[in-house]
Every structure is written in C-alpha cells, then in structure tokens.
Structure 1
C-alpha cells in the first residue's frame, strides 16, 4: 500500500500543551544530570541475541570504569539468568554504585525482584505502570482509579519489603516509579498517580523518590516533551522530595534534543544507553549527551577519554556496530574528505599552534576553536591522523595535512596544489580512499626520491658578489663533475647544473623551515625549478645543513627531467 496523499485521515497531530508562561526556553544547561545507564536492562532486552553473563560482566565493568553511579542491571523476575546476574553484581559492585532493577506492578514479580537484591549496599527498585489512555484501554483494560489503586498497593509492598523490613537494614534503598507512556498520558492523571505513589512511599529531601517520566514512544517534537516536564515539576506535590528522571526514546530521531530541553525544563536525571541502543530506534544516547555538555565547558561527570575501548565493548556485547556517523563515536565523525573542509581544518590547527605558543599556556588551557571540529579528538583518545582523509574529492589541504602529520613538512601553497593533482589522479585510478602511508609514498616518489647521488661538493668564495660550486653527482653509476658560478650557493649550483647537462635551470620558488628542535633540528627546503624556460617542477630536500638540503631539493626536482 502506498503512502497516503492525505495522512491526516489516518494519523493525528500530537496535541501540544497550553503552557503560556513556560520558563524552560530561557534556561541553559549548566551541570551534569544524574545518569542512569540502562544498557544491561533496556538495551539488552532489545538485542536480537541478548548478552551472555560474561558479556554482561564485561559491560558492567566498563560502565563502572566510565563513572556511572546508577546502573539498571536486569529484569530479575524475567529469567533465572537475570536473577543470577543481579546477585553476582550485588556481590562485587563498588560501594558507591547503585544497582537498579525493574519490575511491573505484579506482587509475585516484585517479591522475586527484591529477593535478587539481597545483600546489596545500594539498591533502587524500579516499578512501572502504563498511564496513557491507549495502553489502559487496549493493553490492560483498566480505569484511572484502578491504576492508582494498583500503583499505591505495589509501592506499599516494595516499602514493606525494603526500607520498612528490619532484615534489609544493611541496604540503602531508593524507589523509582515510572508512569509508562508518560508523554502520551493526561498530565493531570500523571500528577494524580505520582502524588499517590509518593505518599505511599514516604520520601524525604535526603532520600528522594525518583519519578521517571518516559517518552516510551517518541510522539512529538522535543519542545512538547519539555513542556510536559515543566508542567509536572510545577504541579507535583513536594517537588523538593522528588528526583525527576527522563527516559526518552528515539522514534522521531529527537531523543537527544528532547533530553536536553527536558533538563532545561527542570529534570534532574537521565536514563539511556551508550550510543543509543534500545527498542525500535533506541534509547537516548548517553555518549552524545555527555560529550555535548563537555563541548560546552561542563564536566559530564563520566569519562570517555578512551572512547575506542568503549566502542569495542559496546560492539562486542551488543553485536551491533556503532554507526560510522554516530556523534563523537563514529569512525568517520572526525574525518574530513572535502577539500574545503580539509583546508579549513589545516589552517585551524596552524592557528591553534600559534595561539598556544603566544599564550605561554599548555594546550588544554587554550580555548579550542578549530573549523568543523567542535571537540578535540585527542580528548576522547582519537588520533589526528583520522581527522583528514583523502579521496578523489579531496583538495590540496588534505594531502598537505597528511604530509605534515607523517613527515613534519609544511608544504608551501604551490607544492600543495601540485601534489594534490598527483594524489587526485592516483585516487581516481584506484577508485578509493588513499591511506596515509600511500600518500606519503607518493610524495617521496614525486619530490624526495632522487636518481642523483651527491658525491661531494664545495662552495668557494670568489669575491664579494660571487660564489663557485664545485662538485660531483652520480646518475646510474655515471659520475658527472659540475662547476658553476652565482651570487650564492643555490645560484652557483643551478649554474653548475646548466653547464653540466646543457639545460637552463632556474629557481622559480623557494621555501624552507626547520624540522625538530635542539640538536635534532633539520632543515627542509622546497624548491620549484624551471627548466629551459618552460617546464616547472618541485623538489624537496631534508638535511642537517640547509645548503645541502637546498641542493638535494634542486636535484630531486631536476631528476624528473632526466
């Protein structure tokens, strides 16, 4: 069946909220929320092949290493595997990590769930009950009054089995309640059921109740979700005793925006998964949320300094690759193929190097501002070699960047243009991206590799204005003695080439810079020569002595004409 020409006959526009005095649009994000990683529960239940116990252990350890202090580990009543895993985590979880488990509002499942937490130091029991008209009518056949009655009854049961049970005194308990399908529920009913649950649990300012307000299925633009959160925060009773938590799904592709706007609207906590795994299009991406804060100068309180190791664990355990364009983590997100992008990035790094030198500060204390790179790749353990990658669409800046990073040679503009044509031709022939090693080999072959061997030479002062070059070069085993006069070492050598090989060699362009520092410094020279007044060719020379480097660069350029 084709798409409808008038979809309004089948689908209705999601109604917005009448919130004329909304405050969240003027707010900003100034601190990290409480994070809850639900990779091992919500993420795991969405996998075609759920994680093994060994994979769950590996994943849990990585979440702890990153710095997550609240981790939802399982649905203990669902299977013996989940129950046993919860018990194993309870035994080895760090003292400062809260272990969270999930249960529906069913007495026998709640008892089994709390049993799995026996011996825990810090535990969060999470119950959920759908509150939307759609779910109450179609799935559960319940009225609003019946839903409130059930939620209160189950909350009291959790209380009796946890904080009111003397045998559980060794555990620090928290309680979380989710009005599932919150974003599609009547706001007044959500307030009503949450107030009833709160009164049944009895929170304090020191030990708040967590109300998790999920966009179980994302159905609206992010601003509507923010309105719903602000309405809840402003109307629920005893707000100071409540932690408002978010659980956005990504059905419309807006989960990150929804989570950020909802925090601006008053939420305190965010639940999600690394790289957005989860049912359908996934949960909100915790990596993106954290690093979005980081790029605004706000510590996210979790550490992605080694994001590649995180990606490795996520892909190994989920058996789903992290998309190459996933924000921050994707293989290609810090890579530029476009010539204009590459040129801008290269100039940005040059500018930053100058700013750091002038400031006298360490790089981490100088404001980051590089075109197309909102985050320094090295902050998350990525290498600059991946920043600029070269194919047939790349310009002069891309290949020049590779040579700078590989060989330390900052090519003059004319050589950048010449070399980019060589690279583009090779990329078109191969029909693929060129590796950095291939680009380096191309450069050496074109501009450094020399069929001439400089055997020996001397430059003699003739008078105030003149210098004389005397030397020998070897070409394929045949030695040629060269003699020439000029106003300096370079002009005397080009005159010697002219005399020795019967062609006119002139310097068209010359640049040089140092490579390295201190006793290891070497000179790199870039010389463009013209032969017989027609053809021009670049050569590059590298040597401890700048004069010899210049001679080598001229020989490298001239070698292609022989």
Structure 2
C-alpha cells in the first residue's frame, strides 16, 4: 500500500479570520464619486497604437508650484531642453500674472528661440485686461495658442463665484470672444493663432453642463476645416478611479458636435496617485492630446509625468516621438531648473530603477542577458537587433543612456547570480555554477558582518584576495615559477614544475594522463592530498594577446574548494588554478 503524502491541517476559514477593525477615521465627511452610465462603453477594448499630441506645461503649471520659481535663466534652460527632446507644444507661462512671465515670453520670441514647428501656449483667465495683456505677449510669434479657462464645478459656482450656470457659461463665451478680438487686433499675419479652452475642475463638473459650456465656446470660435479648437478637460484635482475618468472622456467624445475639428486634451493631476493610468485610459476613450510635466512636477502631488507616459509607449514598441535617450541629462536639467531632486525609484529615470539587489532577481537577469546573447548569435544578429527579453528589466537601460554597471548591485539580500554577473560583466570571468555558490557565501559573510552595499570594486578586491595571489599580495604555500611537460609514447604526461614551496625554491615532478593529473601527482610528493573534481576554462579575450581563465574544483584533505588561474598559456592557467585551490586550503 503506497504511503499518502502528509498534508497539514488547513487553517479553518471563519468570519473572524480576515476581519479588520474600524479605522476610526471620519469617513462621514466624504461622499463617493458619481459614476457615468455608459453600459456600451468601448474604451476597454481600445488599444493605444501611436503617440498622442504632447504639451509640456513645465514652464507654467510646473513652475507655479515650485517653492523657488525658476529664474529667467532656468526657464530658458528648461525651454531649450523641451525643444531638444522634441515637444512641439509648450505652455511657456501666464504672462498676465506678472512682469516675469511676460518678459520671458517676449524674450524667447524676440531672440528667435522658438523653432518654426513649435507652438507656444500661454494661459489666461477670462478678464478682459488679462486677455489683452496675454495676447500682447505673443506679438511676433510664428505659432501661438491662447489657453483660456474658468472653473465650472458646483462648489466653485456656489462658493467662489456665487454665480448661476448661465453666468458661468457666459464667462467662457465672453472670454472666447475677447481672445478672438484681441488676436485680430494685435497679432499680424505672421502668427498662426490657435485657441484652447478648459472648463477647470472638469472632474467635478456635471457632464451635461461641461458639454453645454464647451459647445457654447465652440459656437463662438466656430471650429471647422483648418480651424481647430482644443478642448482641455482637466482633472484639476484627481477625484476618481482611472476607469471612471475614462468613462467621462468617452461620454464627452460621443456627445461633442464638430468632433472632427475638436482636439480633446487630457490634463491629469496625481492626487490619487493614478495620473498616468488616467491619462492612458483617457487616450483609449478618445482623447487626442496630453498635458503634463517632466517627472510629474506640478501643484500638490503634481501633474501627470510625461517621462513615464512616453517611456510606457516606448516599452511597448510605440514611438513616443519624444527623445528620452539621454535620461540622465534630462533629469539633471530638470533638477537644476526645478531645484527639486528626482526620486531614486522614479520610473525609468531614478538611480535605482534598473538595479536589482535581490539574489533571485539578479540570477534571472544574468540568465536573461546570457540567453539574449545566445539567441542573437543563433540568429546571426546583434543583441540590439532582437526583441528585448530580460527578466525584471522592462527596457534595455542602454536605450536611455544608462550603462549596465548599476543593473546588479550586491547587499545582504543578493545571491550568486548578481555576484557572478558583476565578475562576468566587469572582469570577463564566467564562474562555474558551484564556484558561484562558494564565492557568494564569502560575500554573504562580508555583508552580514559589515552591512550595507558591496560595490563592484569591493567584490573584485575580495575575489582577488580569496583566489588570485600575486607578487603584491603573496599568500599560500606554493608560488609557481615555471613548468614544462613532455608526453611519452604511451600518452603519459611528465610534468616538471619550478615553484616556491613554503619559502623554499623547489622542483616538483609528476606523471599523469594530462598536465593537471601530473600536477596532482607532483603535489603528492610534498604531502598535498588532492584530487580533481571538475575543470572548465574559457578565453577572456581574443587575438594574439588572448588570455584564458581556468577553474578547478578539488577535493583537498576532505574539503571541496575551487581555484582559478589566469594566464595567456592555458596549461599555465590550469596549474595556477590548482595552486589557487591548494593554497586556499592552507589559509
């Protein structure tokens, strides 16, 4: 009768097992966000297959949120960065808010800093004096958009403006007319002029009223062939799940008239931490354009992060049409301009985002790199020409200007894979698996004793001290001087080795079925009881100056130890590997 496998008694599931206690927080102060009734919604089945239009508002929404707003020099550096990266729509300020923003807009126009294919945008409220000043700032620009906004949500209507729906709608209508009048009055034919309207706090505005206001604005602007209007629907404060946000966009896209002449723009903030998802789902629901900031700068928790959005597309094989290939330069410039650091865990750009400390992660990454090289070789291609497939790395760090040096870093959580990767990547040493295990224990003991991270240099220093004695760091019973072999007619090898043994110049002789076997025989003559368990070697370089690495696993006086030898001569490398193991046994 076969024995049944042991099965432990399962924990009984009761109503009390997973019961959590009340938080005691004042949840009565908050209501649930209203859902949108679209039973036939289509956005969940949509796919994003191309980049949207992008607008950077780093110089406006981003700048106004800084503890120390940008100086004119820092603004110019940010503007030049955005142009280099490829942004074609850049909101450059709020010129009616003060002389600083007005002067900056004038400077980039008058100094010819704006490429012909870049449209600058400026923000204004709906007051006539502010609109006039705003349009005045654009005189001489080749491509410019005025962005007018007014808040439409119930709380703002009741608390801030104390106005009816009709009064709030009229603000948008009158503001649009004034923009058109002052553009006609102040701007010449050299300016390609565009208009953008935002029902601020769209996320808290009743959908039917938001649609009513947008339609009223369109009635004034009269969008048509060659006369686009941008309707920006901002999540001024993020209030719902990304799915509900997408429902609102699908509803607006379905119900807007003149849709083919309307660019629907999404402007998410990150108050709930889901701005990126909200923007991506809004694209699926019909949005054409995204406004945001590099690294998610902006009021409170920030605007949506344009870096993450663009790189998400890139990681899916979709061209973001923005150049992120020098991510560290982008980050350094952003940190300088904003005087705020980018978090080390920030997606795609942080110091640690391509770094693995976990041993299992490191092992998988190492195997992934090895498999990529093997697959490329089998296809007769380079690694850069085949599809990226390395565990735990969603993109190739090289594609954003990073090296592989920081991909694997070693601490107390690391294992053999990470340590082996460092030695292979930095020193061309491809350790056999059991040697990886042996050396990882040595590093583990170091990290357990000292704590913290072990740098690649420290790993190499420990490895060299453990396995590679040299004239500057001599240790062990035996130091190799020279050796020669001769093969008899019966295939037996005779080995003669000149070495220093216990400080004395000594000649060792032995025979065997190869140089390594003969060397073990020679060592027996000085009382070393050793036998070969495993042997492997590989070249570390090619050409006339090629160097070989030999790895020997030995049983020595009841212990199993590895040794390594490095030499241009493969026989000499193998003898050094045996000596490395034997000397380690006597340390």
Task: Supply the RMSD in Å over aligned alpha carbons.
Answer: 1.5
**Contact kept in structure 2, 1:90 and 1:99, CA below 8 Å:** no
**Contact kept in structure 1, 2:520 and 2:531, CA below 8 Å:** yes
**Contact kept in structure 2, 1:396 and 1:416, CA below 8 Å:** yes
| Worse-superposed segment, 512-521 or 432-441 | 512-521
**Contact kept in structure 2, 1:102 and 1:127, CA below 8 Å:** yes
Shift of 1:4: 6.2
Do structure 1's residue 461 and structure 2's residue 482 form an aligned pair? Answer: no
Correspondent of 2:512 among 483, 486, 490: 486
Quote the residue 1:122 is aligned against.
143
TM-score (norm 2): 0.93
Q: What is the SS of the residue equivalent to 1:13? A: coil
Shift of 1:519: 3.1
Shift of 1:356: 0.7
Shift of 1:429: 2.1
Correspondent of 1:536 among 557, 560, 568: 560
| Worse-superposed segment, 457-466 or 39-48 | 457-466
Shift of 1:475: 5.0
TM-score (norm 1): 0.97
C-alpha distance in 2 between matches for 1:7 and 1:33? 41
Residues paired across the two proteins, number: 558
Shift of 1:167: 4.4
Gaps of 5+ in 1: none
Shift of 1:7: 4.4
Correspondent of 2:123 among 80, 102, 105: 102
C-alpha distance in 2 between matches for 1:555 and 1:208? 79
**Contact kept in structure 1, 2:106 and 2:137, CA below 8 Å:** yes
**Contact kept in structure 2, 1:468 and 1:489, CA below 8 Å:** yes
Report 1:447-526 matches (<5 A): 447-450=467-470, 451=474, 452-474=478-500, 478-499=504-525, 501-526=526-551
Q: What is the SS of the residue equivalent to 1:519? A: coil
Q: What is the SS of the residue equivalent to 1:118? A: coil
Do structure 1's residue 551 and structure 2's residue 571 form an aligned pair? Answer: no
Listed one character per residue, the Cα deviations across residues 112-153 of structure 1 (whole Å, up to 9, x for unaligned) are 111111111111111111111011111111211111111111
Listed one character per residue, the Cα deviations across residues 357-406 of structure 1 (whole Å, up to 9, x for unaligned) are 11112323211111111111110011111111100111111111110111
Listed one character per residue, the Cα deviations across residues 461-499 of structure 1 (whole Å, up to 9, x for unaligned) are 133231111021125753121111111111111211221
Report 1:130-529 matches (<5 A): 130-162=151-183, 164-165=184-185, 167-450=187-470, 451=474, 452-474=478-500, 478-499=504-525, 501-529=526-554
Q: What is the SS of the residue equivalent to 1:281? A: coil
C-alpha distance in 1 between matches for 2:68 and 2:38? 44
C-alpha distance in 2 between matches for 1:220 and 1:237? 26
**Contact kept in structure 1, 2:292 and 2:304, CA below 8 Å:** yes
C-alpha distance in 2 between matches for 1:178 and 1:5? 39
**Contact kept in structure 2, 1:182 and 1:190, CA below 8 Å:** yes
Listed one character per residue, the Cα deviations across residues 317-340 of structure 1 (whole Å, up to 9, x for unaligned) are 111111111111111111111111
Q: What is the SS of the residue equivalent to 1:560? A: helix
Shift of 1:205: 3.3
C-alpha distance in 1 between matches for 2:501 and 2:268? 71
**Contact kept in structure 1, 2:224 and 2:258, CA below 8 Å:** no
**Contact kept in structure 1, 2:483 and 2:572, CA below 8 Å:** no
**Contact kept in structure 1, 2:140 and 2:187, CA below 8 Å:** no
**Contact kept in structure 2, 1:406 and 1:440, CA below 8 Å:** no
Q: What is the SS of the residue equivalent to 2:159? A: helix
Gaps of 5+ in 2: 1-21
C-alpha distance in 2 between matches for 1:123 and 1:477? 84
C-alpha distance in 1 between matches for 2:382 and 2:437? 33
C-alpha distance in 2 between matches for 1:517 and 1:17? 66
Q: What is the SS of the residue equivalent to 1:508? A: strand
Shift of 1:79: 1.6
C-alpha distance in 2 between matches for 1:8 and 1:317? 40
Quote the residue 2:63 is aligned against.
44
C-alpha distance in 1 between matches for 2:120 and 2:50? 23
Mark the CA change 1:72 to 1:475 in structure 2 (over 3 Å): closer, same or farther: farther
C-alpha distance in 2 between matches for 1:167 and 1:149? 25
